[in-house]
Amino acid sequence: MTFCPSYPIRPGRGVKQVPNRVAACAAAIGGVLLAGCALGARGAAHDPHALWLVVHDACVPDQRRLGSPSPCAEVDLAAGYAVLKDINGPTQFLLIPTARVSGIEDPALLSPEAPNYWAEAWRARRHVERRADRPLGRDEIALAVNSAEARTQDQLHIHIDCVRPAVRAALRAHAGEIGARWAPFPVPLAGDRYLARWVDGPDLAGADPFRLLAALPRARAAMGRETLVVTGATAPDGRPGFILLAGRADPATNDRGSGEALQDHRCALARPR
C-alpha cells in the first residue's frame, strides 16, 4: 500500500498539516492542491473535520489492517480512542475518540455507556513523559478540553501536556481551599476565573470529569460554553487525587473558555533544574 507521509496536527489553534492515505487526502479536501499529501494551514484551518479524518481515515484503518496506529502514537479500538502527537510543542499529545463526538457539548459524553475518556487521557500521559525524557509528577501534567468557542475542530480532543509553572504554584498555594464541591478558585489562573473541586484517587477510573462538570446547573444548561481542566495532585495528608477546574466562555470578559491556556506547551517543568 502507498501511504502519505505522516504529520502531526495542531487542532487547538488551527490545524497545520493532516496525515492520511493518498485516496483519503484527495477525498477529504476535494480540489485543494496537496504537497506530499499534507494539507496546508490555510486549507485545514477552514475544515473543522480535519482531526476526525486523521483518526477515522488513517489511524483506525492502519490499526485494523496493519496492527500499526500510524500516524497516531496509539489506537485502542476496544476502549475507543486514539492518541496523536500535536504539532505544537515537544511534549503535547491529544486523546481523540474513535467515535464521532463533536466536543464538550456532545450529549453522548453523558450517556450511561460513554467511555471515560479522561481516565484514558491520564493513562496516556506516558507519551508526554517519553517526550520529556523523565517521569513527571502528578501535578506537573494537565489535561484540558476547550469550549466550543475556543476550538477549531469539531471532534472531541483532550490536550495532554505539562501544566504552566505559575498555575502549578497557585494550585499548590491554595490546595487547602479546594474541597469536594465546586467552588470559585480564589485567584485567576492565566488571567481567567475558574471553579475548582477535588477528586480522590490515584486515577480517574471512578470519576468522569464530564459528569462532575454537568452536575453544575450552569454547565448542564450550556455545556458548549464550558472548558474543563484536570491536573493530578497530592493532598496534604499524602492522598493522591485530582484538581478539576471549570471555566466558562464569557464575551463580556473576553474569556473564550480555553482551558488549554493553563498548559505549557514548552514544558518548562521538564527542563533540568
* CA contacts within 13 A on the Cβ side of 83: 20
CA distance linking residue 156 with residue 82, whole number of Å: 11
pLDDT in tens, the chain (273 residues): 223 334 444 444 433 344 444 344 334 333 222 222 222 223 345 689 999 999 999 999 999 999 999 999 999 999 999 999 999 999 999 999 999 999 999 999 999 999 999 999 999 999 999 999 999 999 999 999 999 999 999 999 999 999 999 999 999 999 999 999 999 999 999 999 999 999 999 999 999 999 999 999 999 999 999 999 999 999 989 999 999 999 999 999 999 999 999 999 999 999 876
Q: Are residues 182 and 228 in the same domain?
A: yes
Residues 124, 116: contact at Cβ < 8 Å?
Answer: no
Residues 200, 241: contact at Cβ < 8 Å?
Answer: yes
Q: Are residues 139 and 237 in the same domain?
A: yes
CATH of the domain at 252: 3.30.428.30
pLDDT value of residue 8: 44
Q: Are residues 36 and 120 in the same domain?
A: no
Q: Are residues 110 and 206 in the same domain?
A: yes
Q: Are residues 46 and 152 in the same domain?
A: no
pLDDT value of residue 273: 64
In a domain? residue 64:
yes
Q: Are residues 58 and 124 in the same domain?
A: no
In a domain? residue 88:
no
Q: Are residues 27 and 122 in the same domain?
A: no
Q: Are residues 62 and 151 in the same domain?
A: no
Q: Are residues 111 and 13 in the same domain?
A: no
In a domain? residue 79:
no
pLDDT value of residue 272: 74
Q: Are residues 64 and 137 in the same domain?
A: no
In a domain? residue 256:
yes
CB atoms within 10 A of CB 190: 17
In a domain? residue 258:
yes
Q: Are residues 43 and 177 in the same domain?
A: no
pLDDT value of residue 47: 85
Q: Are residues 109 and 165 in the same domain?
A: yes
pLDDT value of residue 271: 85
pLDDT value of residue 34: 26
pLDDT value of residue 10: 44
Question: Which of 72, 88, 117 marks a domain boundary?
Answer: 72
pLDDT value of residue 80: 98
Q: Which domain holds residue 48?
A: 1-72
**Rounded alpha-carbon distances, angstroms, from residue 4 to 11, 20, 25, 198:** 20, 6, 8, 44
In a domain? residue 215:
yes
In a domain? residue 84:
no
| Domains identified in the chain, total number | 2
In a domain? residue 66:
yes
